[in-house]
Amino acid sequence: MTTADLDPVAEIDSVSFSLPWPKKSFEYELRNPFSRLWVIEAEDDSGIRRIAGMICSWVIEEEGHIATFAIHPDYRRKGLATRLLGTALLEAAREGVELVYLEVRRSNLAAINMYEKFGFKTTGIRAGYYSDNHEDALMMTLEALDPIRLQAFLEDIT
């Protein structure tokens, strides 16, 4: 992700979440040395490449935390999230991250299914975590990141 991507990234965030980040949060994260930000592009119906998804994670020594992650509704169910998350996890593993965790709404079955496919396990519940509707968050954790396995997985799906 670069500053040139900020408008489409903020747009994807705002159509994907009931508590979206303001654009200035992404601007801040681009300067945050602990942040790792990626976008994924895809062609629209006219063959023009567009930013179709984004992920922001934080890396502190051997721990990673997925802060926000979404695919634009027009581009879902095409495997883009799988490629984007797989790439972010591979790059994290290459810089020494061993464990990644995240929070996800209990009702967000699409995301929970996706994280489970990567091997994330539910390791805790944060009761009433989300300020808009006081929904619980599941805390999900992926341990023992393996760059060789992640690279093979990405080669298989591309």
Ligand X SMILES: CC(C)(COP(=O)(O)OP(=O)(O)OC[C@H]1O[C@@H](n2cnc3c(N)ncnc32)[C@H](O)[C@@H]1OP(=O)(O)O)[C@@H](O)C(=O)NCCC(=O)NCCS
145 binds ligand X (CB under 6 A): no
Q: Closest separation between CB of residue 54 and ligand X, Å?
A: 9
| Integer Cα distance of 32 and 60 in angstroms | 12
142 binds ligand X (CB under 6 A): no
Task: Rank residues 73 and 96 by Cβ distance to ligand X and give the closer one.
Answer: 73
26 binds ligand X (CB under 6 A): no
**How many residues make contact with ligand X (CB under 6 A)?**
20
106 binds ligand X (CB under 6 A): no
Would you say 110 and 71 are in contact if contact means Cβ atoms under 8 Å apart? no
Catalytic residues: 103, 115
Among positions 9, 64, 67, 69, the unique one binding ligand X when judged by CB under 6 A: 69
81 binds ligand X (CB under 6 A): yes
Q: Which two tokens stand for residue 17?
A: 């979440």
Give the helix ranges, DSSP H, for the chain. 6-16, 23-31, 80-94, 109-117, 147-157
Task: Rank residues 117 and 126 by Cβ distance to ligand X and give the closer one.
Answer: 117
Query: Which of the ranges 71-79, 90-98, 127-135, 146-154 carries the binding residues for ligand X, by CB under 6 A?
Result: 71-79
Task: Rank residues 129 and 146 by Cβ distance to ligand X and give the closer one.
Answer: 129
End-to-end alpha-carbon separation of the chain, Å? 21
80 binds ligand X (CB under 6 A): yes
Closest CA to 37 of 68, 74, 72, 71: 68
**Is 52 in a helix, a strand, or coil?**
strand
Q: Give the CA distances from residue 26 to residues 8, 22, 29, 36, 156, in Å, rounded to whole numbers and listed in that order.
A: 11, 7, 5, 11, 31
Q: Which residues bind ligand X (CB under 6 A)?
A: 16, 69-71, 76-82, 102, 104, 108-111, 113-114, 117
